[in-house]
Amino acid sequence: MSDNKFNFCPNCASKNIEYRDNKKWFCTDCGFDLYNNVASAVGAIIYDSGNKVLFEVRAKNPRKGFLALPGGFTDRDESAEDAIVRECREEIGYEISDIKYLCSFPNDYEYKGISYKTCDLFFAVKCPHECTSIDDLITKLSMEKSEVTGFASYVINSEEDIEKIPLAFKSANKALKSWLNKK
């Protein structure tokens, strides 16, 4: 059963709306279907030669104050690659390049009482050559204040290192482990 409840059909206002097949709402009066499709989101693991990774401090819920990888939801008619470049430009004020697809994981995203299912696609991005380290890169970043309240960096050499990071989302934890195991 979906966590998301509808009391009325959005098409005819009937109270005879049912959640079916764990994927859609159906109105038995007018035949209206509303699918509960998975949303796509992207994240960037921006790292340096010492395995130090860039994180943002979330400015809003869900998980305000926890750490996240730069990224966000894909827009309509946008590829995952274009989305991660745009999200990094918007959130951290930096134009990333030479992105490499890493992995994807399902995630739950709770927002204003609605539970969204997402498929989070992650990309690995080597720290740009003009920066000597992630900490050097951080000095060049500007944050989108509605999304980010600060930056952090952590050296990741083991899965234990990942477990110590106060991550906002389980998918980021899994992506960091995938990145670590592929290095």
Instruction: Please report the pLDDT score of residue 2 as a whole number.
Output: 46
Asked if 74 contacts 41 with a C-beta cutoff of 8 angstroms, the reply is yes
SS3 category, 140: coil
Query: For strand 39-47 and strand 114-126, is the pairing parallel, antiparallel, or unpaired?
Result: parallel
Helices H / strands E in the chain, number of each: 4, 10
What phi, psi does 30 have (nearest 5°)?
Answer: -110, -5
Distances (CA, A) of 182 to 4, 58, 178: 37, 27, 6
pLDDT in tens, 168-179: 999 999 999 999
The answer, yes or no, to whether residue 15 has pLDDT greater than 60, is yes
Does 4 score more than 80 pLDDT? no
Contact 99, 81 (CB under 8 A): yes
**Amino acid in position 150:** G
Q: Which pLDDT tens digit goes with each residue over 69-96?
A: 999 999 999 999 999 999 999 999 999 9
Summarize pLDDT for 121-139 with one digit per residue, the tens. 999 999 988 889 999 999 9
Question: What's the rounded mean pLDDT across residues 53-60?
Answer: 97
In this prediction, residues 23-46 reach a mean pLDDT of 94
Q: Is pLDDT above 60 for 3?
A: no
What pTM was estimated for this model as a whole?
0.89
Residue 158 has pLDDT above 60, yes or no: yes
pLDDT at 160: 98
